[in-house]
A and B are shown apart, each in its own frame.
Chain A
Amino acid sequence: MGSFDFDVIARSLGYLFREGMVFTLTLTALAAVGGIVFGTLLAMMRLSSFKWLSLAATGYVNLMRSIPLLLVIFWFYFLVPYIGAWLTGAARPIHVGAFASSVITFTMFEAAYYSEIMRAGIQSIPRGQVWAGYALGLNYWQTMGTVVLPQAFRNMIPILLTQTIILFQDTSLVYVLSITDFLGAASKVAQRDSRLVEMYLFAALVYFIVSFGLSLLVKRLQQKIAIVR
């Protein structure tokens, strides 16, 4: 006891943040944007009156939500090169970097969750708003794009951001692909210098501060953006 060396944190700070945190934030941002776009499309499919579209989306969402994220990460990492090869007609598995693979995985996985949020958001818009859009002569895409989705998105921003905070934490799972995200960087330093306790404590503290800070921001935002009706 008494032999903790918290100096290791100060020494590796640059590496942790410039390499690790930058990766974590980049992955979070890309997957959030991709996930929300793809998730919104999934939500529109689920609410579509075309049965097979709705069934396909429902199946996808249920599948993604029933498999552990870790497993999805593995599957995509090993499968994407083969799928890519099949799509492009290449003879050998194409090379997909760990970064591209993790962006695709998280986008696809988070889309299932974002789609449920956007579905609730779309359903929260009164039917009359859709009628009003149609009555002006707007078609389905115009009505969605200019009337329904802007309102749905705005109503759901707090929940979308909360989901993004969860995504921010979940990205630490790319650790299993030996990627140097924030946790991966902390882990590498920890093992190199045999300072596991110090580094993992510090990593937890950073995740806590970022996540909790953001959730406080979301709370304040929530009070600000409610649409006046």
Chain B
Amino acid sequence: MAMIELKDVSKWYGSFQVLNGCTTSVEKGEVIVVCGPSGSGKSTLIKVVNALEPFQKGTIHVDGISVSDPKTDLPKLRSRVGMVFQHFELFPHLTITENLTLGQIKVLKRSEEEAKTRGLKYLDRVGLIEQKDKFPGQLSGGQQQRVAIARALSMDPICMLFDEPTSALDPEMINEVLDVMVGLAKEGMTMMVVTHEMGFARKVANRVIFMDRGQIVEDASKDDFFGKPRSERAQQFLAKILHN
């Protein structure tokens, strides 16, 4: 059984169709990179997986549980899926430690002490243990994003979703975040990553999904995608992005 399974997923904003019959799956331990031009629906695709955005047609299952079934305990399902956002979305009114422990205490009902131990373990892993008492606003973008990854990891997720985790970062901070992600991928974390970082895709992706106008145009193994993309749109996209 696939960890994440999308079947014929369509979504409309009013009369505008953002997702058009998207079907794909992510197996346990797989790393999938989703790319495509802006407005192609890739960010929306990753948000519907976590039911942060509703969709009107099709089905999505995460670990065998339907995300659109009204009977599904969504908070519980979401607590098992780690999510990292483009703009980090750390809670600015809480310290780094409080950011790391909030979900563990409120959702997983861990004791404050246990939550702190776990949170700080992951904070140490992303190399920011000395920042534990600071507020998010006192950290650089790259540091905030690493904290966000640590926050997601401290919930012991079964898979991780990344929504353009490096697009809001200054160029010199991109690698510190990518390094953490590469490390996760190598440990066997199941990951679905929306990104334009083709270097990351080359290094760790199993498959690459290319989206255009709400459709999955190409869903190919890494080597096929970079070697000989079938669609013309994907060829153009690759030519543009790799020349820069």
Contacts and interface: CB of A to CB of B under 8 A. Distances in A.
Interface of A: 126, 128-129, 131-139, 142, 146-147, 150-151, 154, 227-229
B4 interface: no
B87 A135 contact: no
Interface residues of B, number: 32
A129 B87 CA distance: 10
29 contacts: A129-B89, A129-B91, A131-B52, A131-B85, A132-B83, A132-B91, A133-B91, A134-B50, A134-B74, A135-B78, A135-B81, A135-B152, A136-B102, A136-B103, A136-B151, A136-B155, A137-B107, A138-B75, A138-B102, A138-B106, A139-B75, A147-B91, A150-B93, A151-B93, A227-B92, A228-B92, A228-B138, A229-B92, A229-B137
Please report whether the interface of chain A is mostly helix, strand, loop or mixed according to DSSP: helix
Contact of A136 (B74, B79, B87): B79
Contacts of B135: 228
Given A128-B87, A128-B89, A147-B91, A138 B103 contact: yes
A135 B93 contact: no
Nearest to A151: B93
Q: Which of A131, A150, A229 has most B Cβ within 10 Å?
A: A131
Nearest to A139: B75
Interface of B: 47, 50, 52, 74-76, 78-83, 85-87, 89-93, 102-103, 106-108, 135-138, 151-152, 155
B137 A227 contact: yes
A146 to B, nearest CB: 6
Which 7 residue pairs are nearest across A and B when measured between Cβ atoms? A137-B79, A228-B137, A136-B103, A132-B89, A135-B83, A137-B107, A128-B89
Contacts of B87: 126, 128
A94 B99 CA distance: 50
Contacts of A133: 91
A150 B50 CA distance: 25
Nearest to B102: A146
Nearest to B107: A137
